[in-house]
Chain A
């Protein structure tokens, strides 16, 4: 049978076919996500218990819990954020509020984008030579946090910049019209309005940092260290590295698989919680700002 060309029916049939297949493909993407989540939640949930979260690993990491890895990841996130938050936010304020559409602005943006594109393993190499060796921090929380901090810096800058950009110029003009200086306008007008979006971006980057493995391989992560760190020059275990180790090169990969599922679930939970927290906060704070 030959299809008549360019008739109304042919045209619409093609549209129906195209739209249906695009819809199905989109749902396939979502299905992939659900498949991953379902697999890890299904196998991981039975492993998770209070004891699993608060006990030390035992028997070559085939038994016991993942407490030191949780603590280690917590410290690394904290450390990297202490470094990346202020610098990132200040940097974004400078780019968005102080520079005009100049060469410098474009240059800084190019550099920020380039930094964001550098693979995480290269950050690992860099952190190892600069922080661990040249500055002599050794494998330590400090070295790992700084490496992770540099890695997230472009993300923090970008999200903060977006947040500042979304503040309408009329607010700034209003501030100036009332006789406020530039600094006062930024502090009292621009930042409060942009705050919900800034904080959302920052929270999302926490999720990012907690899952990064390659940058901490050679700067802080310990294979097996069943004690808690006492200072910033200590090595720590970390959740993502722990998952990598017990699922590929542990003493007994098959036996520690339940622990691996549990660790993966904890990592996923962190990402999920961070996402939910960010969205809730954005909605809540967004309302508040509007009311004012």
Chain B
């Protein structure tokens, strides 16, 4: 009996341990599920916010219209139906707020019950009208024609440059500017951090004596421990004004400021992983090189570094991955302009910064909200690819060493 009880407890504990080990996997599955459920639903949706329609006169010959065209129409950049393939007739804009220009409160009724009828009559009487109205007002006996817009497509989402997620009536969801902003800033960061990080790693692994190393190591760890928001604050009060002065810019919040801060933040990752990789070089290899008459530097540059090359590239990729996903520091120093970057001396906006800055204002479940989740999906996919690449490289290293 006692033996049985002991065995049962053992099994129970093992079961608990096993369950704990599944939590990380479970979390990833849940993240994928929630992120993609919300993000992908964006592509089943027209760019017009739920509950609203764009209606035109039933005689209007325009068949199809794209969402950038709708935006240009309401921004009064397109003023004639001819420009979107219709008859030569000037466009008359109508938003629901304009109703008081056409009808008195009396006509609308005490409880506004007459509005649908009035709208129907209005749209029917003005040939050039385009009306952005709540869908509930355009019922079965509505005499105008409701414009059908294509759903937001994944291709458009990834290749359009216009990011006006809250534009009325049709939101512009193009994330190319955000993606390229993210890549520019991260690439800049890695270009700055890699030489510095690699030099430090080589110094720590091969050149410095044990005592220096024991001082440097915890300092590098400390650099990794500083919260990203503190880096962002430091960038905001020191680096941003500095860049503004040095390059004589109107604003210092630029992609370069983001790159510099991200480079500092990526340093510990790059240094630690490269140093570990350099240390795996077999002693016999180094000694063989020294025995051939090479000095220490020749051994480092021709034996140790080439041997650790794959580990160093893993470090660079991982550092880049960290930079791509970093949110707060970048949000604070890059200026957040959602336009295509041409140089690093302009304000840029990255994907994580966009999510952090806009999610608070987006209505839950609305188009904007979904678009931000779709951005989250892109971020998830990019970082997942980075992780898998690094895993692949390190697995290969292990295998080739056997």
Contact = CB atoms under 8 A, between A and B. Distances in A.
Interface residues of B, number: 86
B225 A275 contact: yes
A92 to B, nearest CB: 8
Nearest to A187: B13
A91 B20 CA distance: 5
A94 B17 contact: yes
Given A114-B384, A244-B328, A26 B204 contact: yes
Contact of A115 (B28, B207, B231, B376): B28
Contact of B226 (A12, A150, A211, A248): A211
Contacts of B228: 211-214
A29 B10 contact: no
B108 interface: no
A107 B324 CA distance: 25
A243 B230 contact: yes
Main secondary structure of the interface of A (DSSP, over half): helix
Interface stretch (A17-25, A61-69, A170-178, A229-237): A17-25
Contacts of B386: 117
Interface in A79-93: 86-88, 90-91, 93
A111 interface: yes
Interface stretch (A46-54, A126-134, A188-196, A283-291): A126-134
Contacts of B359: 124-125, 128, 217-218
Interface in B319-345: 321, 324-328, 331-332
Contacts of B147: none
A140 interface: no
Contacts of A88: 20
B383 interface: yes
Contact of B360 (A11, A121, A125, A218): A218
A257 B297 contact: no
Contacts of A241: 229
Contacts of A26: 199-200, 203-204, 208, 216
A176 to B, nearest CB: 14
Given A22-B199, A22-B202, A271-B225, A121 B17 contact: no
B203 A244 contact: no
Nearest to A208: B225
A240 B24 contact: no
A272 interface: yes
B356 A121 contact: yes
B132 to A, nearest CB: 29
B208 A121 contact: no
A1 interface: no
B50 interface: no
Interface in B212-240: 216, 218-223, 225-234, 236-238
Given A32-B264, A117-B321, A122-B379, A182 B10 contact: yes
Given A115-B27, A133-B364, A11 B295 contact: yes
Interface stretch (B30-38, B117-125, B161-169, B244-252): B30-38
A108 B27 CA distance: 12
Nearest to A115: B24
A227 to B, nearest CB: 21
Contact of B387 (A107, A113, A134, A182): A113
A98 B234 contact: no
Contacts of A121: 325, 327, 352, 355-356, 376, 379
11 contacts: A25-B196, A36-B231, A39-B234, A86-B20, A93-B17, A94-B14, A117-B325, A117-B386, A181-B6, A260-B233, A275-B218
Given A22-B207, A130-B30, 15 more contacts: A15-B297, A19-B297, A23-B208, A26-B204, A36-B230, A40-B233, A86-B20, A98-B17, A111-B25, A125-B373, A208-B225, A212-B227, A218-B360, A240-B227, A272-B222
Q: Which 5 A-B pairs have the closest CB atoms?
A: A211-B227, A119-B325, A15-B297, A94-B17, A90-B20
Interface of A: 11-12, 14-15, 18-19, 21-23, 25-26, 28-30, 32-33, 36, 39-40, 86-88, 90-91, 93-95, 98, 107-108, 110-115, 117-126, 128-130, 133-134, 150, 153-154, 157, 181-183, 204, 207-208, 210-214, 217-218, 240-241, 243-244, 247-248, 257, 260, 264, 267-268, 271-272, 274-275, 279
